[in-house]
Amino acid sequence: MKTSNTPDKFIEAIGNLGESIGLNRTVCQIYALLYITPEPLSPAQIGRMLGISKGNVSINMKKLEEWNAVKKVWLKGYSRSFYNANEDMEGIIFDKLKTGLEKRNRLLEEAVNGIKKSLKAKGKIADKKLMRHYSSRISKVENLLKQAELFTKNIDLLKSLLKK
Amino acid sequence: MKTSNTPDKFIEAIGNLGESIGLNRTVCQIYALLYITPEPLSPAQIGRMLGISKGNVSINMKKLEEWNAVKKVWLKGYSRSFYNANEDMEGIIFDKLKTGLEKRNRLLEEAVNGIKKSLKAKGKIADKKLMRHYSSRISKVENLLKQAELFTKNIDLLKSLLKK
DNA sequence: TTCATGGTTTAATCTGTTTTGAACATTTTA
DNA sequence: TAAAATGTTCAAAACAGATTAAACCATGAA
C-alpha cells in the first residue's frame, strides 16, 4: 500500500462529502485520488492505493465513466487501461445535479398525479368539503413542481451567473 | 386500517421522493399523510393508517418537529396530542436545503484543508513539479468552495427570484 | 495452442440503517 | 387508588447497500 504518496486527508474528506449527498463513498474516493494524482492510474493501482478489491474498483470505475468524471488514457507500451480524472469538477457536479433534479421532478409529478387520481376516483362519493381541501393541496404542490421545473431548466444560466 | 380513505398514491410517491434525496422514507410518508389529511391526526392514528409501529411513529415525529415540518395541535376534549402538517412545504425544503448546503461546505473546506496540510507536510521532500500540480488542484477546489458558499448565502434571494 | 495478465460478474458476507416489539414512564380516567 | 391510554426508549430483528473473494471471460505474449 503506497498511500504514503497520496494526500489521504483529501481523499477521506471527499469521500465523506460524497457520502453526505447520498453517493457511494468509494466512488468519490476514486475520483479524488485521480484528481490529485498527476499521472494516470490503472485500476490495479487504484485498488492498491485505496485498499479495496478489484471488483469494487471495477464497479465504481464504470459509474465514474457513465458520469464522465474520468477518462480512459492509453499509455504507450501498456495494453491495460489507465484513467485520468476529468478536471472539470464543477461541470460534473452540475451535470449530476441536473439529472438528479430531473429525476426528482418526475417523482414529484407522480405525487401530484397520485393525489389527482385519488381525487377523481372518489369524485362520486366524496363530500364537497374534502374535495375542496384536496384541490387546494394539489394546486400548492403543483406550483412547487412548476418552480422546481423552472429551476432545473435554468440551472445552466445559474451556473454562468455564479461564475462572475 | 382505514387507508381506504387516504390518497395512498400520493403518500407512496412522496415517500419515494424523500428517499431519493437521502431522507427516511417513513418520515416523508408521515408528512405527506398529514399534508393531505384535512383533520389533525394522533400518532396512534398515523401508525394505523401507515401500518407502522408506534415506536417508529414516535421517532420520526420527533424529526418532523425538529424540522418544523409539523405542528402540535390541541383538540378540545382530548388529552393526547394531534399533529398538523406545516403547509409551507417550500419553506421546509429551503430550510433543509440551506442547512444541508452549509454542512457540505464545511466538508468541502475540510477536503481543501486536507490537501493543503498534506502539501505542507511534505514541503521539504517533494519535488517542485508535484508541488505545482497540487497547488493548481487546491486552487480549483477552493474556487469551487467559494462558489458554493456564495450560492448558500444567496439562497434566500434565489428563492424570492423563483417566486416571480 | 497454452499461459499470464487484466478486467467483469456474481454469490456470499459484511456494515450500517430502519423498524419492531417489549419494557418503561407518564398521564388520564374512573 | 387501580386500570387504561399514550408516548418514549432501547435491544434485537429485518433490511438494504456496499464490499469481497472467487469464478469467469477476454486479450495478448510466447
- pLDDT tens column, B132-158: 898 999 999 999 999 999 989 988 887
The answer, yes or no, to whether residue A5 has pLDDT greater than 80, is no
Q: Point out the nucleotide closest to B80 (alpha carbon to C1′).
A: D6
What CATH number labels B3-86?
1.10.10.10
Domain A3-87 is of which CATH architecture? Orthogonal Bundle (1.10)
Q: Residue B5, CB, less than 7 Å from strand C? A: no
Protein-to-nucleotide distance from the CA of B59 to the C1' of C24, whole angstroms: 16
pLDDT in tens, B95-109: 999 999 999 999 999
Please report the pLDDT score of residue A128 as a whole number.
82
* Stretch A55-75: mean pLDDT: 97
Residue of A nearest to B17 (CA): A107
CA distances from B43 to A137, B7, B19, B60, B68 (A): 22, 18, 22, 10, 17
Confidence band of A43 (pLDDT split at 50, 70, 90): very high
The answer, yes or no, to whether residue A1 has pLDDT greater than 50, is no
Protein-to-nucleotide distance from the CA of B46 to the C1' of C24, whole angstroms: 22
Count of H helices and E strands in chain B? Answer: 7, 2
Residue B95 CA, chain-centre distance (Å), reads 8
Among B87, B107, B141, select the one facing A20 at the smallest CB separation.
Answer: B107
Residue of B nearest to A93 (CA): B144
To the nearest whole Å, the CA of A82 is away from the closest chain B CA by 19
Please report the pLDDT score of residue A53 as a whole number.
97
The answer, yes or no, to whether residue A24 has pLDDT greater than 60, is yes
The answer, yes or no, to whether residue A157 has pLDDT greater than 80, is yes
Q: Point out the nucleotide closest to B81 (alpha carbon to C1′).
A: D6
A128-132, B29-33, B85-89, range with the lowest pLDDT: A128-132
* C-alpha triplet B73, B85, A99: angle, nearest 5°: 165
Tell me if A8 and B104 make a contact (CB, 8 A cut-off): no
Contacts of A40 in chain B (CB under 8 A): none
- What percentage of chain B exceeds 70 in pLDDT? 91
pLDDT in tens, B45-60: 999 999 999 999 999 9
- Identify the residue with better confidence: B79 or A105: A105
Sign of CA dihedral A142, A147, A151, A157: positive
Tell me if B118 and A7 make a contact (CB, 8 A cut-off): yes
Please report the pLDDT score of residue B5 as a whole number.
66
Residue-averaged pLDDT of chain B: 90
C-beta separation of B82 from B42 below 8 A: yes
Residue-range domain boundaries for chain A: 3-87, 90-163
Q: Residue B29, CB, less than 7 Å from strand C? A: no
Residue-averaged pLDDT of chain A: 90
The answer, yes or no, to whether residue B87 has pLDDT greater than 60, is yes
The answer, yes or no, to whether residue A28 has pLDDT greater than 90, is yes
Whose CA is nearest the C1' atom of nucleotide D6? B80
Got the DSSP string for A31-90? HHHHHH-SS-B-HHHHHHHHT--HHHHHHHHHHHHHTT-EEEEPPTT--S-EEEE-S-HH
CA distances from B108 to A25, B23, B115 (A): 14, 21, 11
The answer, yes or no, to whether residue A3 has pLDDT greater than 60, is no
Protein-to-nucleotide distance from the CA of B55 to the C1' of C22, whole angstroms: 11
Confidence band of A103 (pLDDT split at 50, 70, 90): very high
A17-31, A97-111, A116-130, range with the lowest pLDDT: A116-130
